Chains A and B, each alone.
Chain A
Amino acid sequence: MMAAGVAAPARVRKGPHSSRRGSIAFPALRLACVRAAGIGGWVAGFAGAPARVRIRGLLEPARFDRIPGAPARCVRAAGIGGWVAGFAGAPAHVRRPAGSKLAVMMKLLVDRRPPAIAAVALGAVLAACGGGSGAGGDEPGGISPQVMADALRTVIESDRTVYARHVVNRLQDEEQVIEASEHWQDDRALPLPAQMFRMGAELAAEQTDLFRYALLSKWPVNAQNAPKTEMEAAGLDAVAADPSQPFYGTETLGGVDYFTAVYPDVAVAEACVNCHNAHPDSARDDFEVGDTMGGVVIRIPVG
């Protein structure tokens, strides 16, 4: 911290507040208060995430992770804003007097305080809160969520078809080399195509938040794969009625807006229909090759 009396750089315009410096009774005290507020906000901001875990009674254990990221970001940004304000709010003679851009900016801020300081802090908070996890689709010339979903579906559906036809159907049903089994570890067998799909989706989810995909059906073997949201139900109905058209919509889940696309999932091999028709937990036993048995749901967070 520089000693009092260091001259401000010549190229910085003397503001109207400069002359009033001597009239403030306790500049050091005021500086300390503003700094403390800044540091407090800073600490609160970083402690924000653990704090919500620690406040028992207000938040039950099961609610720990329910709080979306935005409030934490707001608190953190407020902390950073407070820190900046605390620095900027200090009398000019304790700030860095060098003629750097930072000093000039700070000087201008001080000259126009407090509205300027408030505006900067507020701007920082709004920027942090508003800066959500967009998919980048709204940038001019970027890839739209629908194009991205269509592209993902092409890859997913191709891999799925190859596994069902050339691995499971060939090895299990045609050449009878090895079976596919739900309990593939125990039975030393091939994972079922639906499990293959699911394992891939879970592995992808561990690596990116840009999208999620799932294999669902109105006639699922596992009840957890029945439609859960209105958009899933509408989409599965739509692609079952007209498999030639994907279904697109938007929905808000857990406070996040999603572009949701539903594509038909068609039985491409005997193995698909044989297993689903025979499974004790299956809701249908009359599938035929070529039928739409369910749908691939792809979600992309937007906005």
Chain B
Amino acid sequence: MHSTFFRLVWLLATVGLAGGLAFTLASPGADRRVFQPGPLTDGHHQIEIACGRCHTPFGGVRQEACLDCHAAELEAALDSHAASIFDDPRNAADLNRIDVRACITCHTEHRPEITAAMGVTLPADFCAPCHESVAEDRPTHRGLSIDTCASAGCHNYHDNRALYEDFLVEQGDSGPETFAGVMPPRGTWVSWEAAEPTPLTAADADAPAAAAGDRALIDAWAGSAHAAAGVACADCHRPAGAAWTDDPALSACAACHELEPEGFLAGRHGMRLAAGLDALSPAHARLPMRQDAQPLVLGCGTCHDAHAVDVRRAAVDGCLTCHDDEHSAAYADSPHARAWARERSGAGPPGSGVSCASCHLPREPRRVAGGEGVVVEHNQNANLRPNEKMIRGVCLRCHSLRLSIDALADPALIRRNFAGRPARHVESIDMARSRRE
């Protein structure tokens, strides 16, 4: 009797558990973190419930899943170790030691206990299988430890645009450490098809009575670039004839602004939206964020006030509304912030100030519509890590390569937001130059 009863309980429990897990696994919207073998890296935890972005139904990881998001940046970085370089049978012996063609050889997810900087899960001497004899060709490298190639500020595995030898030789002929550079004027890339390019005034506001109650909002809009460009209330709040919304979606902005949302969706701020999830919130963040910012969600309007369209707000205040780490907190007292204050007060020329965006969402020359344009790169990750990515597009506008490399290799200086001088000197330029003498 008892035995029958317990068997029944066991059966029900087993069926219930298996059924529950199976249901969770099969429901696209369900929180499937129960199946996670370990936490994800800082770069992927934002989309951790979207298992299918990376995994096949049987749990494998597609190489294409990595490339779907990262191929464009690797190509732009002139990837020094592109898989195509090694896809030749003559490399079979090397690939047998370390198959560098697959992203997951070096970047394995869900393994925090072995994950180092940049999500690398190999031991730090991963260069050794192919480059351990480097000192034979490069006397300057004698005595250097093979586990410091990528951590000393000299080399990166993928992106060496600012670190390759000829560039070091060419740029390392030290001029002044710091000079009065300016950022190029910002371009705005819009498709006019979605709007009537006839300037509007407050009288043209076409918001319904319930939403038009806020007079200050209407006045701000009337003075904004949107009104000047003929963009009325309904163009954003009632896109394509849909019902009125107080919070226009990214797609409403993207109807005119094509390039900026692309970058936003490719970076950490927008990657949840790109993965079909709800928008990122400071509450999701692993970095320290301000307590009062926790309820915010990230869309264009979080940083940009679409009514006032003062992009300078987005350049610093937008960031500091949420970010509360040491580097962000130190900005106010940094030399960069002083330059920003000079520009804002009119004492410095346009483009001479250094805001958060100057470095993290920089203005970049890009070929747009057949011409050379300047686009604000809204993918904050494009210039983030490894931080030498930032050198050519950002640092060199005002600083020498020598100072830039040294500063970016000094974590304490970065935490102080570059108040002070680099603590040590990276000898890469000296080494490169010594080979040419």
Measured CB to CB, the residues of A under 8 A from B are: 46-47, 49-51, 53-54, 61-66, 182-183, 185-186, 201-202, 205-206, 212, 214, 223, 228-229, 232, 253-254, 256, 258, 280, 297, 299, 301
CA distance A297 to B87 in the complex (A): 14
B121 proximity list for chain A (CB < 8 A): 61
The stretch that binds A, out of B24-32, B100-108, B354-362, is B100-108
B171: min CB distance to chain A, Å: 11
Task: Tell me which residues across on chain A come within 8 A of B122, comparing CB atoms.
Answer: 61-62
| Binding stretch for chain A, among B89-97, B196-204, B400-408 | B89-97
Which chain B residues in 242-256 approach chain A with CB under 8 Å? none
- Tell me how many residues of B have a C-beta within 8 Å of chain A: 37
* Residue B56 CB within 8 A of the other chain: yes
- B-chain residues with CB within 8 Å of residue A50 when the two chains form the complex: 56, 58-60
Could you write out 23 A-B pairs with CB less than 8 Å apart? A46-B58, A50-B56, A50-B59, A50-B60, A51-B58, A54-B59, A54-B60, A61-B104, A61-B108, A62-B122, A64-B102, A65-B101, A182-B166, A202-B82, A202-B84, A202-B85, A205-B87, A214-B88, A223-B137, A228-B94, A229-B93, A253-B93, A254-B95
Let me know if B343 is at the binding interface, CB within 8 A: no
Contacts of A53 in B (CB 8 A): 60-61, 104
**Measured CA separation A46–B60 after assembly (Å):** 12
Report chain B residues within 8 Å CB of A206.
84, 87
Chain A residues in 8 Å Cβ range of B106: 61
Q: Which B residues form the contact surface with A (CB < 8 A)?
A: 56, 58-61, 78, 82, 84-85, 87-99, 101-102, 104-106, 108, 121-122, 137, 161, 164, 166-167, 435-436
Which residue in A47, A66, A201, A229 is a CB contact (below 8 Å) of B96?
A66
Query: Which A residues are in CB contact (< 8 Å) with B59?
Result: 50, 54
Q: Which residues of the other chain, A, contact B108 by a CB distance below 8 angstroms? A: 61
> Are A297 and B90 touching (Cβ within 8 A)?
yes
B170 to chain A, nearest CB (A): 9
A183 partner, pick from B89, B90, B96, B166, beta carbons under 8 A: B166
Could you tell me if A280 and B436 are in contact, using CB atoms closer than 8 angstroms?
A: yes
Task: Determine if B167 and A183 form an interchain contact, defined as CB atoms under 8 angstroms apart.
Answer: yes
Pairs of residues from A and B, 4 with the lowest C-beta to C-beta distance, nearest first: A50-B60, A254-B92, A202-B84, A253-B92
Which B residues are in CB contact (< 8 Å) with A183?
Answer: 164, 166-167
In the complex, what residues of A have CB within 8 A of residue B161's CB?
186
A65 to B60, CA, bound (A): 12
Q: A62-B99, A185-B78 in contact; A205/B89 too (CB < 8 A)?
A: no
- Interchain CA distance A65-B86 in the complex, whole Å: 13
Q: Which residue of A lies closest to B89 (CB)?
A: A253
CA distance A49 to B61 in the complex (A): 10
In the complex, what distance in Å separates the CA atom of A258 from the CA atom of B167?
A: 40
Q: Which A residues are in CB contact (< 8 Å) with B95? A: 65-66, 254
- Distance in angstroms between the alpha carbons of A61 and B98 in the assembled complex: 9
CB-based nearest A residue for B76 = A185
Docked-complex contact A205 and B84, CB < 8 angstroms = yes
- In the complex, the answer to whether A299 meets B78 with C-beta atoms within 8 Å is no
A66 x B84 contact (CB < 8 A):
no
Taking a contact as CB atoms under 8 Å apart, the answer to whether B98 and A186 are in contact is no
Complex contact B89–A212 (CB within 8 A): yes
Most buried by A among B88, B101, B164, B436: B88
> What CA separation (Å) do A66 and B401 show in the bound complex?
41
Once the chains are docked, how many angstroms separate the CA of A94 from the CA of B87? Answer: 50
Report which residue of A65, A223, A256, A297 has the largest number of chain B beta carbons within 10 angstroms of its beta carbon.
A65
B89 touches A258 (CB 8 A): yes
A228 and B93 in contact (CB under 8 A), knowing A53-B61, A183-B167, A205-B88? yes
How distant is A187 from chain B, measured CB to nearest CB, in Å?
A: 9
User: What chain A residues lie within 8 Å of B102 (beta carbons)?
Assistant: 64-65
